[in-house]
Amino acid sequence: MMGGAGRPAGAPEAAELEERLLPLAAPGIGDVDGGGGRRRGKWEKTYLDVLGVCCSAEVALVERLLAPIDGVRAVTVVVPSRTVIVEHDPAAVSQSRIVKALNKAGLEASVRAYGSSGVVGRWPSPYILASGALLLASFLAPLLPPLRWLALAAACAGAPPMLLRAFAAATRLALDINVLMVVAVAGAAALGDYAEAGAIVFLFTTAEWLETLACAKAGAGMSSLMSTIPPRVVLAGTGEVVSLRDVKVGAVVAVRAGEVVPIDGVVVDGQSEVDESSLTGESFPVPKQPPSEVWAGTINLDGYIAVRTTALAENSTVAKMERLVEAAQNSRSKTQRLIDSCSKYYTPAVVALAASVALVPLLLGAQDMKRWFQLALVLLVSACPCALVLSTPVATFCALLRAARMGVLIKGGDILESLGGIRVAAFDKTGTITKGEFSIDGFHVVGDKAEMSQLLYWVSSIESKSSHPMAAALVEYAQSKSVQPNPEKVTEFRIYPGEGIYGEINGRHVYIGNRRIMARSSCQTVSEIDGVNVASIGYVVCDGDLVGSFSLSDDCRTGAAEAIRELRSMGIKSVMLTGDSRSAAMRAQEQLGGAMEELHSELLPADKVGLVGDLKGRDGPTLMVGDGLNDAPALAMADVGVTMGLSGSAAAMETSHATLMSSDILRVPAAVRLGRRARRTIAANLAASVAAKAAVAALAVAWRPVLWAAVLADVGTCLLVVLHSMTLLREPGTARRGSRKEDEACRATARSLAMRSQLAGASSTATASAGAPGGGTNGCHCCQKPTSRSFEQAHSVVIDIPAASSAGHQELQVPRTAAANGNAGGCCSTGRACGASTVTSGTRAPRKCCARKEDGSRVSVNTACCSNGGGSRDSPKKTGQGCRDARCCSGGT
């Protein structure tokens, strides 16, 4: 597996954090811990909600409190979400002991329950309520002077948590916001400004509470990806209910309708639709049948399936995703490291300045010493750089969550910042720009040294050992010719990246690949395939002689051309890097409408690395998108390497800096836009933080020091930074977003129809749909709503979808205007997916569906009734809104 060379600065830190967060090969009970010879149990991770963590200053405090405890192995603090992750031995130290250690310092820690997403909706503490009530009552002091003492009581009532944290920090020689606030409150009380002292405590505690709620809300959707996974599962064979952790690889578990898939696996029985939005960001249901893959965290919508597990619970895709998100949130970007370094000197410098402002005038015998003391206290409050320190990590946190929600895993803040500066995007062709689903256009025997059946047997047997998309096409082609591969007969199998493969079978030395493999095999003969000038061409060499050749074709992904156009609109240059032939590259360029600005073909992995380096030097920061083993070196070389997640190779995913969890290449420009927004948000946060500090200091010097205003500016700026960063969680541009969702719904409709046709064995439907006039890159165009029911019934075309059983077949009636616009995929007047995309291929339609007609075994369902069908982001229940019977759109029979 390729290493991570070429990652941005900070990647070693991210890798270290990721390694800490990944599940360790836990020693069993009774294993010896190498530290001191003591026997250890199994390590486990405990998630804690710690409200007292408001900025990075508390990170050191938490680590100093927990690190000395025997049995604690690692402590990780996620500041933006107020989360502490402790890896410990439960036999040596309990969760309650860890919580007690943190609460002694007033950090308000609690264990996060399974399925909980944090502290959203928490009421203010009694300290805040008591302080606020007493401070409010003190405002009546002009009417009753003794009430002024209630302001001092308000300061005392709200101070205990702050005092505990300040004491814990002071005893460990740490200078944080709590210490500074305690000094400020004491100073205000000493000067007789009781109302100001009470206001400081109330404003500080209230702002901290609001900031905690905002942070918790920001991370509520992704704070625990594993929270949706059921803790217990049902074994399909026996019906026994067992713990998820006890499920072994190869076990068969039952997943009923409405349940969450508990573990990664392969469907072995049943048929259903699965919502994979938790992984891919696309909520449109995906049909599943044997042997489809399913992943933990996805939702089984409308049928029963039995799943044979392919991974343990702790190694499932969603578990890896959660650990990567945690590691990314804890890795500090270059900007954050710079701010943290400056803050180490900023606080002591401002404290020294405040002490000088108080002491120098006193030594010089200056008049109005109260004003000088107040000015010193204002500077002391301004000495805490909380807003400045939070400006980068909170924005990064929110951007990473937004990326994860839309199906893009970004491995750290440095990569996020690099995404915002991309100037050129390089794309691999096979499996990235194209679908990676090859079809054999021709297979030819060259010479008389082998028969066709023997040649197909050699090729299919050797290709069965390869994971390349071309291999699957060759094996399937051989099987269609009644030739069964036998990979057990293959010995000395080797892969030559960028060239092809080699294997020995029945004593023959066989090479399969492109022109380069012929040079390796010492074969000089080249065969040209007649009539094929725009396809990928492969050769078969046996014992040094060319014995066969074949041609393959592959189509571009839906949305590939649109993605490249979006990148161009952002000023980003697009380049194709492929190891395939020039004719194959030109064929892809034609399908893209000439969108690529540069084409580079017949490249070895080393050539791709060199070209990526040239692009970085010539055009600026470079993005590389790939999916295969051949792309791993180039992905590592690029400023940002992006791999096509679930379909990509393990080496590419390991080496890349970001992962697309779906095959939607439109996520690439979306990720770049997100990176640019994150950079702008961080810049605005930094400017607001610095401006607030400068404004308070200037006001104090020019007019008069107002201590409560300084506190309000400090904690208020912190809250403002958090709220501004939370804008990254939503997509800007309502109109553009609506249009994009309609396009996604249209594409999802076409994909769903094709997959349903495959489930029903009706591949002709997809062909007919794709061949409809006006079909565009997106797979379908959206039609206008007919003006009347009579028009709908009288003007329609019929698409036959054979039923899964022999009882008959079903017809879907689509308005003729839809067919005229290439809308056989089933788009309605609003541009959203309608019933054509979701009606199952049974023999009977639900009653009360619009324009329902029966003719013997033929059932017609007029999908035009779905004038307000749900889009790809809607749930199945919403899909049928606008129908007389929602079931005719929701796909239920």
State residue 428's pLDDT score: 92
Confirm or reject CATH 2.70.150.10 for domain 232-315, answering yes or no: yes
Residue 453 is inside which H or E element, if any? helix 452-463
Mean of pLDDT over the chain: 75
Q: What DSSP string describes 543-590?
A: TTEEEEEEEEE-PBPTTHHHHHHHHHHTT-EEEEE-SS-HHHHHHHHH
DSSP state of 144: S
Cα 72 from Cα 695, distance rounded (Å): 45
pLDDT-derived band at 711, boundaries 50, 70, 90: confident
234: which residues sit within 8 A by CB, 6+ positions away?
240, 241, 253, 254
- Residue range 436-555 forms a domain whose CATH class is alpha beta
Cα 743 from Cα 562, distance rounded (Å): 11
- pLDDT value at 838 more than 90: no
Per-domain residue ranges of the chain: 44-111, 126-214, 232-315, 436-555
Structure tokens at 19: 């390694």
Q: Identify which of 351, 335, 542, 553 has the alpha carbon closest to the alpha carbon of residue 449.
A: 542
Structure tokens at 742: 């309609």
Q: What is the pLDDT of residues 85-97, one digit of tens each?
A: 898 988 889 999 9
Structure tokens at 564: 């490249």
How far is CA 362 from its chain centroid? 58
Q: What's the first-to-final CA gap in the chain, in angstroms?
A: 48
Q: What is the pLDDT of residues 752-775, one digit of tens each?
A: 555 555 545 433 433 333 333 333
- pLDDT value at 481 more than 50: yes
State residue 794's pLDDT score: 33
Cα 841 from Cα 804, distance rounded (Å): 7
Residue type, 893: T
State residue 307's pLDDT score: 95
State residue 733's pLDDT score: 57
Residue 580 is a catalytic residue: no
State residue 322's pLDDT score: 74
Cα 806 from Cα 374, distance rounded (Å): 89
pTM metric for this prediction: 0.68
| Least confident interval from 486-500, 615-629, 730-744 | 730-744
Q: Which of the following is catalytic: 193, 428, 580, 664?
A: 428
44-111 — its CATH code? 3.30.70.100
State residue 250's pLDDT score: 92
Task: Report how far apart, in Å, the C-alpha atoms of 513 and of each of 233, 454, 519, 584 are.
Answer: 46, 18, 11, 14
Q: Identify which of 528, 634, 593 has the alpha carbon closest to the alpha carbon of residue 776.
A: 593
Is the pLDDT higher at 242 or at 383?
242
Cα 273 from Cα 276, distance rounded (Å): 10
State residue 392's pLDDT score: 87
φ, ψ of residue 343 in degrees (nearest 5): -65, -25
- pLDDT value at 282 more than 50: yes
Q: What DSSP string describes 767-783?
A: HHHHTSTT--TTS--PP
State residue 646's pLDDT score: 62
| Least confident interval from 494-508, 573-587, 690-704 | 690-704
Q: What is the pLDDT of residues 122-176, one digit of tens each?
A: 678 889 999 999 999 998 888 888 888 999 999 999 999 888 888 888 887 777 7
- pLDDT value at 721 more than 60: yes
